[in-house]
Each structure stands twice: as structure tokens, then as C-alpha cells.
Amino acid sequence: MNNPNLVEEMRKISRDPLPTRSPSEIERLIDDLMSKMYLTEKIGQLYETGFDEHDVTGTNYDKSKTPMLIKQGLVGSIIGTHNQQALYRLQKIAVEDSRLGIPLLFAHDIIHGCKTSFPINLALACSFDADLVEKVSQATAFESSHSGVNMTFSPMVDLSRDPRWGRVMEGNGEDPYLSSVLATAYVKGYQQDDLTSYDTIAACVKHYIGYGAAEGGREYNTVDMSEAKLRQYYLPPFEAAVKAGAQSVMSAFNTINGVPASANKKWLKDVLKGELGFDGFVISDFTSTGEVLNHKIARDQKHVAEVCLNTGVDHEMIATTYIDYLEELVTEGRVSMAAVDDACRRVLRVKYRLGLFDNPYKNIYINQEDYWQLPEFLQLAREAAQQSAVLLENKNSILPLSPTTTQTIALIGPLGNSQKTMGGWNGKAWFEDTVTLYKGLQEAYPFANIIQVDGCDLEKPINLELDRVHEVVQQADIVILAVGESLHWSGEAHARANLDFVGLQPQMVEAVLSHGKRTIMVVFGGRPLILTPYKDRVDALVYAWLLGHETGHAIADLISGRVNFSGRLAMSFPYAVGQIPVYYNALPTGRPQHGHYTGDFYFSRYIDIPNEPLYPFGYGLTYSTVDYSSPDVSKKLVKTSGDSVDVSFTVTNTSSVAVYETVQLYIEALYYSVSRPVNELKRFEKVWLDAGESTTITFTLKSTDFGYVVENDQFTVEPVPFFIKVGPASNQTKKTEISLIEG
Ligand code: GLC
């Protein structure tokens, strides 16, 4: 219910530019403020609670207490920013009624769009386009910063090689280099170069660390791996985000080698704050501090508070161990005043950087709708979706399907006319704004006769309409299948042990394929699904992920050829669930399939499926054919330190269709002091090529690009030979050899 007085006040919130304060001035302001703070008020800065039930569900906080806690200076931040009046009221209490008037920080989960829904992050990663990701993040920040958000819990950079884990949808896939480049793009897009701006928000990079390696892909499960592997694969995207200026890092739910990530001195204090020099604040995941008790490394909640604060968690989300016990713990000497001061300083530092002390209401807008879904954002969402979908099969060039066709098209499958292709973790976006594939096809094919049939239920194994399916397929000249997973089957707490299409869809697909009609299969999902049964039986196979609000328009643009495909897989597609984890940058083993061992039996393999994934990292078809020259190098000998080498190659579009080509550069160590992967992505770029156009690409590799973390956890660059490989996919490359030499 709008309170007219509040609304009038909110309309008068100043939008004057805020002063940019130097780091030293901010530290002085913090010193001055902290000199006045009671211990309880310092502890209050370490607590994030919820307020609007719409945002924060099933938790152990009592929202009715929140205003009183704020007045006592016992709340540092709020998660959930839907109700602008509520935010304004809470901030007024903090600023006007608490003793020192320290402003609240408002945070929200906005990871692939705020009110404009962009493709899920794993789909965006398939664009291999950092500029695009930065633009998407800027648009997301704009909509967020004008609707109460000071900080978003994004980017999620958990590397994952296991599609059984539902949260692969939120990440950047299986490669540390791709994820590092995109992590930087997200942070720069959210924060740009001015955190006091009314158009930017702070980034919170998550989930530190190793969450994507949960055993069995089972949600919240144990993580156990060498430090060298964590440093080589899981740490780089966090390092990139911190270097890009991320203001917060979220500690994860999982254990790392037996120690919970939210109570982990080594990774939080020694590595993140020590080695990486992170000077923002570490926030726990949702009650992940309290759950340290479940991990059984603390005897009670008071002990939890001691362990978590002392190991580097600065800000506790929803759990209340800090405000319940830290004062006692300091009095008892189990937590030092210095530790509380450091955590408090980190939170205040981010608040000052955001300009919240100069304008606590800077991101609160009573007319937030005016800043949402601007035409340019919807156009960007369409372009992002076009670049995120991946063409996996296109036999006899059945695609593109001419937009002037007058044929009868049967659109069959429960995702054909569903708005649940938007993606989970959808911020403040509404399903109702999603353009379905059906709607997109109707607009793109005005002369075709499109018959749309669900064929079965989307979520449950019910309502199989085989008679209707057979009837429609018989009438059709061409079939478009729209199958897979809705957004309800991936995301947090949605691990799957089976990666088939959901419910009775497989049966429904078999009915369709029994007719032998020309068939285009469009698959939706938040993760790689098992496509093996269909790969050789459909004429075209499009992986549409979950593409946000512009789903239907983008897929129709691609199928009709108005836009060419350009997506490449950021995650390998397993041949079978039993093959997981399968990833491109694997070690060769002592008996590689194409190794030196004679005989074709005794090598590292399965006897019932091929070794390779069904579709590898970096793979994706387009409507064009592009020729790659072998790479030339500026030198054959590269020093192990302080040196660089230019790698040049020519790409030629030998087709009549322009293409946005995703060129990739990999390296392979011919040997090293530890066994290294058979392939390591080190550069990529999207290059526009008109029909017939050639262009020469040059990448510069530095000595450190050839380095690796070895068994003593040290990063080394060793004087050994390397292949440098270029091509359109990890398994389609041309190579040349160079050698690193001491120097
Ligand atoms: C959730 C997720 C995390 C999210 C947080 C706040 O459990 O793990 O990604 O940012 O809680 O909603």
C-alpha cells in the first residue's frame, strides 16, 4: 500500500552526482566513524538479514524484528529489494533513528538480468563474447541500480565439469580461461569505473571456492581435490574478478578437503585476502556459517561464530551467530577486537565506495518501472540470445528454413509454447514477458501453417497425446521439436542423476521420429543433456539453453537465417551420464587412445561408449564455412620469463554467408614436470567475416601463458616445447611448435 507521505519524500531523493573519495580519504572517514562505534554496532555491520518475504524464504529470521535491529545499529545489509517503500523506510530508520546513522547496503540475486531477462550465464558463456557480457552486465546494473540494488550476488564463476549439478546454468562452463575473461567482463559491466554512479552496482563474486566440483554433481556435496588443482582451475576466475575490482566475495556451502569454505583460513585469509590482496568483504552464503555446525567442525553456534569470523568471513547472511555471540567471544578473548574491526572496516569501505554515506537512498526509486526493459535492453537480450544458442547438427543444410515458406510446420513439444524458457534465478523478471518459440516462429514465418502441440506435460510424466502427435506429424511438411528441461529443472538444489528430457518427452519424440519427416530438434535446458539418442536421427539440432525474454525471437532469427549462428559450447556434452566428468582439458593418461601403446584395446577408455564427449568444448556449427591457416609465430624460442610471442593465422569465410566466427587458440605442453592437459584454451575472439572475406588474427602470448601449477602448488614456467593450436573448436585445430627456453 503506497504511503503518500513516503512517496512524496521518495520523489525528492537527490540524484546529484556524488563525490568521488580517494582511498586514503575513505580510510580516514572509516577511522573516524569506527572510533565512535560501540562493539555491538561494529558487530551489527557484520549481519545481513532479509525483509521482504518475497525475496527471502524459508529462513530462520523474523522479519518483524528487522526495524528494531536496524534502530539498534545491529544490521549491516538487507537481502531483497523488491519493495522500494520498504527499503526507504528501513534506510530512514538506519540513517535517522540509529545512534550513528550508518546506512544499510541493499543486495539482491540478479545474475542474468534484472527486469530484462538475458540468457542464463552458461548460455552467455557460449557466446565467447566478453564485450557482449559486459554490455549485458551494464544493462543489468542499470535496471538494478534504479530498483534498490546496491550489490548483486554475481558473477557466479564456479568452474564445473559435471552437468548433473544444477548450478552449471549460473556459471561460465568448464574452462578457467574463458571463465576468467567473462568474470572480468561481468564485474566491469556491473561496476564500470564509478561505484558512486546511479547506474552501477557492486559485484559479489561467488561461490568461493570449488563449489562446482561437488562429488557426484550432488548439490551441497563434498569437495576434495589437490591445492594445485584448485589453484589451476578454480581460483583463476576469482582472481580475475578481484583484479577487476569485485567488492565482495561469497564463501561457499561446501567443504574443501574437509574444511568448510565458510570457515577456511587458508582460502579466505591466506589466499583471498593475503595473496590476492582482496580488500572488500567476504559474505557467507545463505546460512552457510550456521551450517558449519552440520559439517561438524564446531560444537555449538557460539563456536561457529568464533571459527567463521576468525577464518575470514566478514559478513553473515541470514544466520545470526555473529550478532548472537561475537560480543561474548570478544569479551572472552576467543575473537580479537582486531578481527571484528577488520571485518567492520571492510563492510564500511564498500559502503563508502558506493557513496551510501553521501546518499543512502541513491538506488531507491519510487518510479523504478521507468528504468526497466528499455527498448535497447530488449534488443540486446535478443542479440545475446542469438549468440548464445549453439547449432550442433545441420544435415544437408536443412537450416536455414526460408522465412517465405508456405509449408506446414508442426511445432511439437511442451517447450514450444512455454514461457519457462526464461531461466532460473531470474532477478525481478516476469515469465509473462518471455517470447515463446511459437510466437517467434509465427512472426518469422507469416506464410507458413504452424500447428503447435505440446504432446505431453512439461514437468510430470503425464498427458502423453500420441494420437494427436501422430495426426499433426502426418499433416506436416517439417517438424520442429521443442523439448528438454524447463527452468524448474536446473539451478540451486536441482541436481539430476539422469540427464534425459524430462517426463514422457522421450516417448513423445520417438513417436515423432517414427514418421521419418524432416525434423529440427530445439533443446532447452540449464545444463548439457544427453542427446545421444537423437544426434543421428534428426536433421538439425539446436541447443537453445534458457535464453531469457527474447527466446522465441532469437531462435526464429537463427532458424530462418536472418541471423547466423555463432555460439560455441562452453561445456562438453557427455555421450552418457556414466562418462561424467568429461571435459576437453583432460590429462593424457599413460595409455591415451591415440597414444604410442600398440593395440586397440588396452588404453584409457570405456568398452561400451567412445572416449570423446558427444560434443566437445568450443564446438558449434554456423551457416558458413571458414578456413583456418596454420599458425605462424613471431619466434620459435620464447624465454620463460618476461617474453612474448605473436601468433598469427588467417581465417577465410569460404561461404556466401557472413559469420561472426569464434576463433580459439589452445596450447599443449609436449612434456612438463607434471602431466598437463592435452589442450588448454589461452585466447579466443569473435571475428566478423563477410562472405568470402579473409582476415589475419594475431594473438600475443606472454611467457606466463605457458605456465602451470605443479605438485608443490607453485606456478612454474618451464623450458619445454609446446604446440600452439588454432581453430573453430577444441578438437578442430591446426598447430605449430615453439620452445620455451630458460631466460
Ligand atoms: C543461495 C545461493 C547464493 C545466493 C544466496 C542468496 O543459497 O547459494 O548463490 O546468492 O543464497 O540468495
pLDDT, one tens digit per residue, over 289-343 is 999 999 999 999 999 999 999 999 999 999 999 999 999 999 999 999 999 999 9
Of residues 55 and 331, more confidence is placed in: 331
pLDDT for the residue numbered 55? 46
pLDDT at 728 over 50: yes
Omega of the bond prior to 588 within 30 degrees of 0, cis? no
Q: Are 739 and 719 in contact (CB under 8 A)?
A: yes
Ligand 1 pocket residue status of 158, Cβ below 6 Å: no
Centre of ligand 1 from the C-alpha of residue 492, in Å = 8
Q: Are 434 and 422 in contact (CB under 8 A)?
A: yes
pLDDT for the residue numbered 58? 45
Element of type H or E holding 70: helix 66-71
Q: To test the ligand 1 pocket, which listed residue (53, 149, 285, 288) has its Cβ within 8 A of the most ligand atoms?
A: 285
> Which atom belonging to ligand 1 lies closest to the Cα atom of 206?
9
Protein residue with its CA nearest to atom 8 in ligand 1: 285
Ligand 1 pocket residue status of 492, Cβ below 6 Å: yes
Protein residue with its CA nearest to atom 10 in ligand 1: 153
pLDDT at 465 over 80: yes
Centre of ligand 1 from the C-alpha of residue 156, in Å = 10
Protein residue with its CA nearest to atom 5 in ligand 1: 286
Protein residue with its CA nearest to atom 12 in ligand 1: 109
Q: What is the pTM of this model?
A: 0.98
Show the cell assigned to 536.
Answer: 543421428
Ligand 1 pocket residue status of 153, Cβ below 6 Å: yes
Q: Which residues pair with 483 in a beta bridge?
A: 523
pLDDT for the residue numbered 52? 67
* C-alpha span between 629 and 615 (Å, rounded): 23
82 Cβ contact list (under 8 Å, min separation 6): 52, 54, 55, 148, 428
Q: To test the ligand 1 pocket, which listed residue (153, 251, 428, 494) has its Cβ within 8 A of the most ligand atoms?
A: 153
Centre of ligand 1 from the C-alpha of residue 62, in Å = 19
pLDDT for the residue numbered 70? 97
Q: Which has the closest alpha carbon to 532: 392, 404, 438?
A: 392
Q: To test the ligand 1 pocket, which listed residue (48, 56, 109, 152) has its Cβ within 8 A of the most ligand atoms?
A: 109
Omega of the bond prior to 209 within 30 degrees of 0, cis? yes
pLDDT at 594 over 80: no
Specify burial of residue 91 (Cβ count, 10 A radius: 0-12, 13-18, 19+): buried
Q: DSSP class of residue 11?
A: H
Q: To test the ligand 1 pocket, which listed residue (286, 287, 425) has its Cβ within 8 A of the most ligand atoms?
A: 286
pLDDT for the residue numbered 3? 73
Centre of ligand 1 from the C-alpha of residue 280, in Å = 19
Q: What is the CA radius of gyration of the chain?
A: 27
pLDDT at 599 over 90: no
Would you place residue 51 in the very low, low, confident or very high pLDDT band (cuts 50, 70, 90)? confident
Would you place residue 602 in the very low, low, confident or very high pLDDT band (cuts 50, 70, 90)? confident
> Which atom belonging to ligand 1 lies closest to the Cα atom of 252?
8
Q: Which residues pair with 49 in a beta bridge?
A: 78
Centre of ligand 1 from the C-alpha of residue 250, in Å = 9
Centre of ligand 1 from the C-alpha of residue 57, in Å = 11
Q: Which residue's C-alpha cell is 569460404?
A: 654
Protein residue with its CA nearest to atom 6 in ligand 1: 286
pLDDT at 215 over 60: yes
One-letter amino acid at 242 equals: V
Q: What is the pLDDT of residues 403-456, one digit of tens each?
A: 999 999 999 999 999 999 999 999 999 999 999 999 999 999 999 999 999 999
pLDDT at 59 over 60: no
Q: Are 430 and 472 in contact (CB under 8 A)?
A: no
Specify burial of residue 433 (Cβ count, 10 A radius: 0-12, 13-18, 19+): middle
Annotated catalytic residues are 285
Ligand 1 pocket residue status of 208, Cβ below 6 Å: no
Show the cell assigned to 567.
Answer: 555460439
Average pLDDT for 523-542? 98
Calculate what percentage of the chain has a pLDDT beyond 90: 94
Q: Are 148 and 84 in contact (CB under 8 A)?
A: yes
The CA-to-CA distance between both ends of the chain, in Å, stands at 71
Report CA-CA distances (Å) from 214 to 13, 198, 260, 495.
46, 38, 13, 10
pLDDT at 53 over 70: no
Centre of ligand 1 from the C-alpha of residue 123, in Å = 20
Centre of ligand 1 from the C-alpha of residue 285, in Å = 6
* C-alpha span between 377 and 383 (Å, rounded): 10
Would you place residue 4 in the very low, low, confident or very high pLDDT band (cuts 50, 70, 90)? confident
Ligand 1 pocket residue status of 615, Cβ below 6 Å: no
Ligand 1 pocket residue status of 48, Cβ below 6 Å: no
Centre of ligand 1 from the C-alpha of residue 301, in Å = 21
Element of type H or E holding 697: strand 694-702
Ligand 1 pocket residue status of 285, Cβ below 6 Å: yes
Omega of the bond prior to 400 within 30 degrees of 0, cis? yes
Protein residue with its CA nearest to atom 3 in ligand 1: 285
pLDDT for the residue numbered 57? 44
Ligand 1 pocket residue status of 206, Cβ below 6 Å: yes
Protein residue with its CA nearest to atom 7 in ligand 1: 286
Centre of ligand 1 from the C-alpha of residue 626, in Å = 42
Ligand 1 pocket residue status of 167, Cβ below 6 Å: no
Q: Are 467 and 445 in contact (CB under 8 A)?
A: no
pLDDT at 102 over 90: yes
Q: DSSP class of residue 54?
A: T
> Which atom belonging to ligand 1 lies closest to the Cα atom of 153?
10
> Which atom belonging to ligand 1 lies closest to the Cα atom of 253?
8
pLDDT for the residue numbered 682? 98
Show the cell assigned to 260.
Answer: 568448510
Show the cell assigned to 49.
Answer: 538479514
The pLDDT mean for the chain works out to: 96
> Which atom belonging to ligand 1 lies closest to the Cα atom of 56?
12
pLDDT at 640 over 60: yes
Ligand 1 pocket residue status of 643, Cβ below 6 Å: no
